[in-house]
Chains A and B, each alone.
Chain A
Amino acid sequence: MTPPGAGAPSAAGVPPAAGTGAAAGAGPGPLERALRARRDAGRKLLVPYVTAGAVDDWVQVVRAVAAAGADAVEVGLPFSDPMIDGPTIQQASLTALRRGTTPQAALAELAGADVGVPLVVMTYYNLVFRAGERRFARTLADSGVAGAIVPDLPLEESAGWREEAGAAGVDTVLLVAPSTPDERARRICEACRGFVYGVGLMGVTGERSELAGTARQVARRLRAVTDLPVCVGVGVTTARQAAEICEDADGVVVGSALVRRLLDGGGPDAAAALVAGFRSAID
């Protein structure tokens, strides 16, 4: 992370070069290797999401969900304007920011965490841009983070970031939505590393009592165009829904359902219990 004007390339305000091609020469990193190995061994993938700084003991929560059966943990770096998030993760982000959480401090905490499964950072592009893409990628790598999800950085805007991330050994997970045409989904998958994130529904993150019909559809469509591990997230609320999605997907991402438990005061144990429930449902 860099102070303003410290000379990181994009802090100077020059957005990355055009192009949608795959990051030059960057093959799969440790995230993709780990997830492919598990998937190929017949295991369904479970990726819980935790907002950094939402609760005091968030790092323990990360460890606890890893121990309870996660295959990777997604850590959200809070942003002031989380436009693709619903009320629960908005609340978690706001709480984390009020508690003074910065990307730098959160990553420093993660660096010493020894979680045992790959970590994937999710954040909005302005935090990456402000730090400078190269510097941000290196900070992730130095903190032991294996992947990054930047949901407001679509394929066309992502070439520069993917190149820097790839060079630092960080896999860039891209998203495919129910509205994405197949041909575009194919191009996204070519540029994507780690796993491909199938957006389960048209909408923001948050709990839903019913599983959207689009969740399994998007998984099937992705299966048809890529060999990457396919994980579906957004709206995955219950273990039962997760099991249903896993009929078609390689795994699921569980965000708001877990974060709500944290905001309600459930600590690492409650988080671990939830994840264990999902684990046994998809196994």
Chain B
Amino acid sequence: MDKQLQDKLLELFTGKLSRQVQLYLDTCSRCGVCSDTCHVYASMPIPKYTPAYRAEVVRRIFKKYFKAQGKLLPVLGEAKILDETALDELKEAAYSCTGCRRCMVYCPFGIDTQQIMSIAKLLLIGANSEPEILTMLADMSISKGESIEESKERFIEGLKRLETDVIDKWKIKAGKTPIPTDAQNADILYVALAGAHSIVPAAAIFNAAGENWSLSFFEAVNFGAFVGDPAKTKLISDRIVNEAKRLKVKEVSICECGTAFRVMKHLSGPQPFKVSSLTEVHARYLREGRIKLDQSKFDLPVTYHDPCQMARNAGVIDDPRFILQHLTDDFREMAPDPKYNWCCGGGGGLVALGEETLDFRMKSARVKADQVKKTGAKILATACENCHTQLSDLNDHYKMNVEVKFLSSMVADALVH
């Protein structure tokens, strides 16, 4: 690696050294407690898949260039030069971690491996070694934000084709728009994903609740966050923030996408509007009696997979359970419970990388499949696009014999007048 590139990467590294991240890098007793708390290592016991090993890949470079110990006595901490092999290791480490932060729950110091891996991801971007698809997808989202006026019409046309599906689920008064867009002063701006499954059920439920809502022109998914590019992450979420400000909405509700929700709610600073997940909104409607559900709609045992970025990392834990109480008499909690729940194995951009990561995703999530099977449930509900895709793949691969469903679509199907 030439000196110029190395300097550039070290500069990127320096930019990542906030007080918190430096604390994480400064502390690790390599006690190994975190090892089998990672679904990857628990499913495939190879040392490089332990959280601390992953973190050490970054930490060794940190020691080499930022620590007195690493400069004077590199052998002590096995400080390491940043070169091509280091890049390979960084890639392996970062893209075998889903950023679920389960290890952080067990670590005596609460070391956040996801934060440390975000350094690895940024260095990879700096060296043009990140998975290209993710950057491409991120760039597409950004350019869509820049040229929204041109694509608006096509988008609205597309929505027209979904209207009958929405009305099929919930009849609205004549003259009302089933899927409103660009509604000034709406109470809720709903940010969906590209795809009918993310728009139709949600729209039906908003209409059933008599909500004054508007659909965002943008997709919620943040590929910038997956690839670990802070600038792109911000550009992508800013599109939504600006739309919300322009329409003067009170609340922005993020669809079933864990990362998009966490980025908007917890990782992009205070906003002039309330941020909630679609699940929270649905629970609120139920609590306020704005919608009613038919509890006999699903007569099979149901279990719920907590998306890591929604539950452990963003606090949406009780609401999905509250909703499920209204959907079934036979809800089966997974063990261990939400705080310790196993990651599905699809986060951190792995699902977005598709076939390329399929084999790894299946092998690394054996513990998840076992956990689901143990519940004996026949319906596996979840509230995250990534999790849904990954769980469906697991279902095929491990013959889990369940039907994987979005929580929102279950709510929409069980709506009663």
- Does B associate with A? no
